[in-house]
Chain A
Amino acid sequence: DAKTTQPPSMDCAEGRAANLPCNHSTISGNEYVYWYRQIHSQGPQYIIHGLKNNETNEMASLIITEDRKSSTLILPHATLRDTAVYYCIVRVVGNNRKLIWGLGTSLAVNP
Protein backbone atom coordinates (compact mmCIF):
# COMPACT_ATOMS: atom_id res chain seq x y z
CA ASP A 1 0.00 0.00 0.00
CA ALA A 2 1.19 3.52 -0.82
CA LYS A 3 2.57 5.73 1.93
CA THR A 4 1.23 9.15 2.79
CA THR A 5 2.90 12.37 3.92
CA GLN A 6 1.11 14.90 6.10
CA PRO A 7 2.29 18.01 7.94
CA PRO A 8 2.75 17.17 11.63
CA SER A 9 0.63 20.08 12.87
CA MET A 10 -1.69 22.87 11.71
CA ASP A 11 -3.70 25.67 13.28
CA CYS A 12 -7.06 27.03 12.26
CA ALA A 13 -9.31 29.78 13.60
CA GLU A 14 -12.74 28.75 14.78
CA GLY A 15 -15.37 29.29 12.10
CA ARG A 16 -12.85 29.26 9.26
CA ALA A 17 -12.25 26.43 6.84
CA ALA A 18 -9.54 23.95 7.75
CA ASN A 19 -7.68 22.54 4.75
CA LEU A 20 -5.57 19.50 5.58
CA PRO A 21 -3.21 18.32 2.83
CA CYS A 22 -1.98 14.82 2.17
CA ASN A 23 0.61 13.65 -0.31
CA HIS A 24 0.35 10.14 -1.75
CA SER A 25 2.54 10.36 -4.81
CA THR A 26 2.95 6.57 -5.17
CA ILE A 27 -0.76 5.79 -5.06
CA SER A 28 -1.99 3.03 -7.34
CA GLY A 29 -5.09 3.04 -9.48
CA ASN A 30 -6.91 0.66 -7.16
CA GLU A 31 -6.16 2.50 -3.92
CA TYR A 32 -8.73 4.58 -2.10
CA VAL A 33 -7.90 7.62 0.02
CA TYR A 34 -9.35 7.44 3.52
CA TRP A 35 -9.50 10.07 6.25
CA TYR A 36 -9.99 9.33 9.92
CA ARG A 37 -9.58 11.57 12.93
CA GLN A 38 -8.81 10.90 16.56
CA ILE A 39 -9.93 13.25 19.27
CA HIS A 40 -7.85 13.12 22.44
CA SER A 41 -8.48 9.97 24.53
CA GLN A 42 -10.98 8.56 22.01
CA GLY A 43 -10.80 5.93 19.32
CA PRO A 44 -10.38 7.02 15.69
CA GLN A 45 -13.48 8.15 13.82
CA TYR A 46 -14.11 7.67 10.10
CA ILE A 47 -14.58 10.91 8.17
CA ILE A 48 -14.66 10.25 4.43
CA HIS A 49 -13.05 8.30 1.61
CA GLY A 50 -12.72 8.58 -2.17
CA LEU A 51 -11.13 7.05 -5.24
CA LYS A 52 -11.04 9.65 -8.01
CA ASN A 53 -13.90 12.07 -7.67
CA ASN A 54 -14.33 14.70 -5.02
CA GLU A 55 -16.57 13.61 -2.18
CA THR A 56 -18.65 15.48 0.37
CA ASN A 57 -20.59 14.36 3.41
CA GLU A 58 -21.99 15.99 6.52
CA MET A 59 -18.56 16.14 8.13
CA ALA A 60 -16.16 17.21 5.40
CA SER A 61 -15.19 17.42 1.74
CA LEU A 62 -12.41 15.47 0.09
CA ILE A 63 -10.66 16.97 -2.91
CA ILE A 64 -8.43 14.58 -4.88
CA THR A 65 -6.14 16.00 -7.57
CA GLU A 66 -6.58 14.76 -11.12
CA ASP A 67 -3.32 12.78 -11.00
CA ARG A 68 -4.41 11.39 -7.59
CA LYS A 69 -1.01 12.14 -6.08
CA SER A 70 -2.41 14.39 -3.39
CA SER A 71 -5.64 15.24 -1.65
CA THR A 72 -7.09 17.81 0.72
CA LEU A 73 -9.60 17.29 3.49
CA ILE A 74 -11.74 20.37 4.03
CA LEU A 75 -13.64 21.09 7.22
CA PRO A 76 -15.76 24.01 5.99
CA HIS A 77 -16.45 25.69 9.33
CA ALA A 78 -14.06 24.39 11.95
CA THR A 79 -15.18 24.30 15.59
CA LEU A 80 -13.23 23.69 18.77
CA ARG A 81 -14.54 20.11 18.73
CA ASP A 82 -12.66 19.51 15.49
CA THR A 83 -9.35 19.70 17.36
CA ALA A 84 -7.89 16.25 16.74
CA VAL A 85 -5.24 14.25 14.92
CA TYR A 86 -6.26 13.68 11.31
CA TYR A 87 -4.98 10.60 9.49
CA CYS A 88 -4.81 10.23 5.72
CA ILE A 89 -4.53 6.60 4.63
CA VAL A 90 -4.44 4.93 1.24
CA ARG A 91 -5.80 1.42 0.98
CA VAL A 92 -5.93 -1.11 -1.78
CA VAL A 93 -9.41 -2.15 -2.81
CA GLY A 94 -10.14 -5.73 -1.98
CA ASN A 95 -11.12 -8.02 0.81
CA ASN A 96 -9.29 -7.84 4.09
CA ARG A 97 -6.81 -5.17 3.14
CA LYS A 98 -5.72 -3.43 6.27
CA LEU A 99 -5.32 0.27 6.99
CA ILE A 100 -1.72 1.36 7.53
CA TRP A 101 -1.63 4.42 9.76
CA GLY A 102 1.01 7.15 9.73
CA LEU A 103 1.53 9.91 12.27
CA GLY A 104 -1.24 12.18 11.01
CA THR A 105 -1.71 15.93 11.33
CA SER A 106 -2.51 17.42 14.71
CA LEU A 107 -5.08 20.15 14.03
CA ALA A 108 -5.62 22.81 16.67
CA VAL A 109 -8.74 24.93 16.24
CA ASN A 110 -8.31 28.16 18.14
CA PRO A 111 -11.07 30.44 19.46
Chain B
Amino acid sequence: EAGVAQSPRYKIIEKRQSVAFWCNPISGHATLYWYQQILGQGPKLLIQFQNNGVVDDSQLPKDRFSAERLKGVDSTLKIQPAKLEDSAVYLCASSHGTSGTDTQYFGPGTRLTVL
Protein backbone atom coordinates (compact mmCIF):
# COMPACT_ATOMS: atom_id res chain seq x y z
CA GLU B 1 0.00 0.00 0.00
CA ALA B 2 1.43 3.37 -1.01
CA GLY B 3 1.96 5.87 1.78
CA VAL B 4 1.18 9.56 1.97
CA ALA B 5 2.99 11.42 -0.80
CA GLN B 6 4.17 15.01 -0.54
CA SER B 7 5.97 17.36 -2.88
CA PRO B 8 8.26 19.12 -3.05
CA ARG B 9 10.52 17.74 -0.32
CA TYR B 10 12.44 20.99 0.01
CA LYS B 11 11.68 24.60 -0.91
CA ILE B 12 13.64 27.79 -0.42
CA ILE B 13 11.95 31.13 -1.06
CA GLU B 14 12.38 34.75 -0.10
CA LYS B 15 9.98 36.50 2.25
CA ARG B 16 6.87 37.90 0.61
CA GLN B 17 6.99 35.22 -2.09
CA SER B 18 4.29 32.58 -2.50
CA VAL B 19 4.65 28.83 -2.17
CA ALA B 20 2.41 25.79 -2.54
CA PHE B 21 2.68 22.27 -1.19
CA TRP B 22 0.91 19.20 -2.49
CA CYS B 23 -0.26 16.10 -0.66
CA ASN B 24 -1.76 12.84 -1.91
CA PRO B 25 -3.17 10.78 0.96
CA ILE B 26 -3.42 7.03 1.23
CA SER B 27 -6.11 5.74 -1.11
CA GLY B 28 -9.51 5.58 0.54
CA HIS B 29 -8.61 7.78 3.50
CA ALA B 30 -11.39 10.24 4.19
CA THR B 31 -9.54 12.55 6.56
CA LEU B 32 -6.53 14.67 5.63
CA TYR B 33 -4.43 16.84 7.93
CA TRP B 34 -1.85 19.56 7.39
CA TYR B 35 0.61 20.20 10.21
CA GLN B 36 3.36 22.76 10.71
CA GLN B 37 6.42 21.60 12.62
CA ILE B 38 8.93 24.22 13.70
CA LEU B 39 12.40 22.93 14.54
CA GLY B 40 12.51 21.42 18.02
CA GLN B 41 8.75 21.40 18.49
CA GLY B 42 5.97 18.91 18.00
CA PRO B 43 3.65 19.19 14.99
CA LYS B 44 0.87 21.78 15.16
CA LEU B 45 -2.36 21.11 13.31
CA LEU B 46 -3.14 23.77 10.70
CA ILE B 47 -6.20 22.30 9.05
CA GLN B 48 -8.19 19.07 8.96
CA PHE B 49 -10.42 17.95 6.10
CA GLN B 50 -13.03 15.23 6.12
CA ASN B 51 -13.53 14.34 2.48
CA ASN B 52 -13.61 17.81 0.88
CA GLY B 53 -15.03 19.68 3.87
CA VAL B 54 -13.06 21.56 6.53
CA VAL B 55 -13.41 20.12 10.03
CA ASP B 56 -10.92 22.28 11.92
CA ASP B 57 -8.92 25.28 10.72
CA SER B 58 -8.75 27.12 14.03
CA GLN B 59 -4.94 27.41 13.96
CA LEU B 60 -4.58 28.28 10.30
CA PRO B 61 -3.34 31.88 9.79
CA LYS B 62 -6.02 32.65 7.28
CA ASP B 63 -4.59 36.01 6.25
CA ARG B 64 -1.73 34.21 4.50
CA PHE B 65 -2.41 30.46 4.51
CA SER B 66 -5.02 28.65 2.45
CA ALA B 67 -5.74 25.02 1.76
CA GLU B 68 -8.11 23.08 -0.43
CA ARG B 69 -9.13 19.52 -1.08
CA LEU B 70 -11.50 19.98 -3.99
CA LYS B 71 -12.29 16.39 -4.95
CA GLY B 72 -11.85 14.87 -1.53
CA VAL B 73 -8.56 13.25 -2.49
CA ASP B 74 -5.35 15.25 -2.84
CA SER B 75 -4.79 18.61 -1.23
CA THR B 76 -2.80 21.80 -1.66
CA LEU B 77 -1.55 24.14 1.06
CA LYS B 78 -0.54 27.64 0.00
CA ILE B 79 1.28 30.46 1.76
CA GLN B 80 1.00 33.96 0.32
CA PRO B 81 2.98 36.00 1.21
CA ALA B 82 5.54 34.03 3.19
CA LYS B 83 7.19 35.38 6.34
CA LEU B 84 10.46 34.38 7.96
CA GLU B 85 8.58 32.65 10.78
CA ASP B 86 6.94 30.29 8.28
CA SER B 87 10.21 28.39 7.99
CA ALA B 88 9.24 24.91 9.12
CA VAL B 89 8.45 21.40 7.96
CA TYR B 90 4.93 21.04 6.60
CA LEU B 91 3.54 17.58 7.21
CA CYS B 92 0.53 15.99 5.60
CA ALA B 93 -1.24 13.06 7.24
CA SER B 94 -4.30 11.01 6.46
CA SER B 95 -6.56 8.63 8.33
CA HIS B 96 -9.16 6.16 7.16
CA GLY B 97 -12.19 7.57 8.93
CA THR B 98 -13.12 9.88 11.71
CA SER B 99 -13.43 7.61 14.73
CA GLY B 100 -11.79 8.60 17.96
CA THR B 101 -9.07 5.98 17.70
CA ASP B 102 -8.25 6.54 14.04
CA THR B 103 -4.54 6.19 13.29
CA GLN B 104 -2.88 9.01 11.36
CA TYR B 105 -0.31 8.17 8.70
CA PHE B 106 2.22 10.85 7.83
CA GLY B 107 4.07 11.80 4.71
CA PRO B 108 7.78 12.72 4.70
CA GLY B 109 7.06 16.45 4.88
CA THR B 110 8.17 19.52 2.96
CA ARG B 111 10.96 21.55 4.51
CA LEU B 112 10.37 25.25 3.80
CA THR B 113 13.09 27.83 4.31
CA VAL B 114 12.10 31.49 4.03
CA LEU B 115 15.03 33.88 3.57
Residues in A lying within 8 Å of B, measured CB to CB:
32, 41-46, 49, 87, 91-104
- Candidates A46, A94, A96, A102; contact of B104 at CB < 8 Å: A46
Closest Cβ of chain A to B69, distance in Å, is 15
Majority DSSP secondary structure for residues of A touching B: loop
In the complex, 20 of the A-B residue pairs with CB atoms within 8 angstroms, ordered by the A residue number, are A41-B108, A42-B108, A42-B109, A43-B107, A43-B108, A44-B91, A45-B106, A91-B100, A92-B100, A95-B98, A95-B100, A98-B33, A99-B45, A99-B104, A100-B45, A101-B42, A102-B42, A103-B41, A103-B42, A104-B42
**10 shortest A-B CB distances, which residue pairs?**
A101-B42, A43-B106, A93-B100, A95-B98, A94-B100, A96-B55, A46-B103, A44-B106, A101-B43, A98-B45
Residues in B lying within 8 Å of A, measured CB to CB:
4, 31, 33, 40-45, 48, 50, 55-56, 91, 93, 98-101, 103-109
Beta-carbon nearest neighbor of A85 in chain B: B42
A104 to B99, CA, bound (A): 24
B-side contacts of A46, CB under 8 Å: 103-105
A-side contacts of B41, CB under 8 Å: 101, 103
- Candidates A42, A95, A102; contact of B99 at CB < 8 Å: A95
